Chain A
Amino acid sequence: MTVFDDPDAAAADYLFGQMNEAETLAFEDVLARDAALAALVRRWRGVLGELDLTAPELPADDALWQRIVAATAAAPQPRPAPARAAPRGWLAGLWDSLPVWRGVGAAGALASALLAVASVTLLQRPASDVRLVAVLVADGATTPGALVEIGSDGRARLLPLAEIPVPEGRALEVWTLPDPTTGPVSIGLIDRARQTGLAVGDLPPPTAGQLFEITLEPATGSPTGRPTGPIIYKGLTTEAL
C-alpha cells in the first residue's frame, strides 16, 4: 500500500530531483517499506537511465580512486548485523550432536553424489566460466551445505545450499587455505547463509584441492584473524569440466 495520494507525482518529484532534503528522506523512508512504490521507482530508474548514458564520459583518474580508497578505509564496510537470533541452548545442542570433525577426505564417498547436485546448481546459472568448485559439507552429513565457485576470471562466490543457524552476536566467516604454511585466510563475513562474493582477489589464484571452510565467529569476525569457532562446512576445490 502506498501512503502517497498520488504516488506517480511523488515518484516524479523524487526522480526529477524536485524534493527538498526533508521530503526526500520522507519519501525514501516510505520507499524502503513500500514494495509497490519501490517497483515503480526502480522501473523508472531503468527507463530514465538512458538519459544518464547521454552524459559525457570524463577521465576518472587514479587520484580520485585513491581518495575513495582512503574514504572506504576510514569508514570500513559495516560488518553485517546478524539478521536473527537462535536460542543459544539449541545451538549448543546442535554442536554437541555433530560428530567429531574428521578429515575432509571423509566426505569422499559422497563426492560424486554431491558433485551431481553441484552440477545441477551450476547449470541453472547463466555463466559457464566456472573453473573450480568446492562442495562444502558438514562432516558426517549426507547433503552439501554450501558451494564455492571460482570463475576463470578469478572471482569467487559462496552459494549456500542449506540454512545455517546463526545466534545473535555471531556471524559466518569464510576461509580458505591457499598455503598450509601460512594458515587460513578470511575471505568473507556474512550475517546469515546467503550468496556473497569472496575476497580472493589478493590471494594466489585458487588451485584444485584447496580448502574452503565456514566457521561461526563473533559478529565482527574472528578477533585473531584465524578461525576460532566451530567449523560448519568445509570442502576442497575440484576442477569443473
Chain B
Amino acid sequence: MTDASDDDRFHADALLACAGGDRAALRALYDREASRMLGIALRILRRRDLAEEAVQDAFVQIWRKAASFDTARGDGRAWMFAIVRNRALNILRDGRREDLLPDPMGSEIADDAPDPEAIVSRLSDTSRLRRCLEGLEPRRRAGLVLAYTHGLSHGEIAARLAVPLGTAKSWIRRAFLSLRECMG
C-alpha cells in the first residue's frame, strides 16, 4: 500500500507530463488505475463492453484535459475516478445498458443484486467514512451506497427499498447531509 502523498505525487507528475504530450505518462496512469476504473464502471454499467467503453472515453478525456488539472490540489486519482464515473453515468443515462442484449460471446455481467453492506465492509476498519455510513439507518445507508457505487436512480432505489419515490429522494439527500455532519 503506497503512501497517499506518494500517490498524489505520482498522479500529479503523470498528469503534468500528459499535458506536455507524454504518452508514456498516460500509459503509466493506465497501468496504475485502469483496472480499478474498469471495476468502477462495471458496477454502474454491469456490462464489460460498456465498462471498457467508459474507461476508453475516460482516458481520452484525461489526455485532453490533463492541462486543466490543477496539480496543487494533489488529488489526481479522485479527478480520474470522477471522469470515469461521469462517463459511465452518461452511458447509463443513454439507456444503453438496458437496450443492448447481453453479449453472446460472454461479456461479464456483474451481480444483479449488489450488496451495500458488503461494500461498506470493504472500507478500511479505520475509515471515518465507514464509521459515518455505519451510523446511518440501514436502508438509508443502502440507498446512499448503491446510488454512488451502482448508479441506481431514485426510482431504482425506491423500488429496491420498497419506499415511494419521493421518500427515496429525500433519503439520499438527508443521508448525504448526515454524512456531511458526521465527517465534520
> Interface residues, chain A, CB within 8 Å of chain B?
8-9, 12-13, 15-18, 20-21, 24, 42, 44-60, 64-65, 67-69, 71-72, 75, 77-78, 80, 126-127, 155, 157-158, 174, 187-190, 195-202
Contacts and interface: CB of A to CB of B under 8 A. Distances in A.
B20 A56 contact: no
Given A68-B59, A199-B17, A16 B24 contact: no
Nearest to A125: B9
A51 to B, nearest CB: 5
Contact of B17 (A9, A48, A60, A198): A198
B22 A55 contact: no
Given A57-B39, A197-B19, A65 B77 contact: no
Interface residues of B, number: 76
B16 A52 contact: no
28 contacts: A8-B173, A12-B177, A15-B176, A17-B153, A20-B93, A42-B75, A45-B81, A45-B82, A50-B124, A51-B145, A51-B149, A52-B149, A55-B40, A58-B35, A60-B30, A60-B34, A65-B30, A68-B60, A72-B26, A77-B63, A157-B20, A187-B21, A189-B20, A190-B20, A196-B19, A197-B15, A197-B19, A197-B20
B50 interface: no
Interface string B40-54: 101110001001100
Contacts of A67: 52, 56
Given A52-B40, A155-B25, A157-B17, A42 B147 contact: no
A155 B17 contact: yes
A199 B28 CA distance: 13
B20 A188 contact: yes
A16 B180 CA distance: 14
B163 interface: no
Given A45-B81, A75-B60, A198-B20, A51 B13 contact: no
Contacts of A16: 144, 147-148, 172, 176
Interface string B142-181: 0011011101011000000000000001001100110110
Contacts of A13: 172-173
A77 B129 contact: no
Given A8-B176, A16-B172, A126-B9, A65 B27 contact: yes
A8 B85 contact: no
Interface core residue of B17, B24, B89 (most chain A CB under 10 Å): B17
B23 interface: yes
Contact of B60 (A72, A127, A187, A200): A72
B20 A78 contact: no
Given A55-B42, A197-B14, A197-B20, 8 more contacts: A8-B177, A18-B172, A51-B123, A65-B34, A80-B67, A127-B9, A158-B20, A195-B16
B183 A47 contact: yes
Given A68-B56, A72-B60, A188 B13 contact: no
Given A16-B147, A56-B39, A187-B20, A49 B81 contact: yes
Contacts of B39: 55-58
B127 interface: yes
B16 A157 contact: yes
A189 B21 contact: yes
Contacts of A57: 35-36, 38-39
Nearest to B180: A8
Contacts of A64: 34, 52, 55-56
Contacts of B127: 50
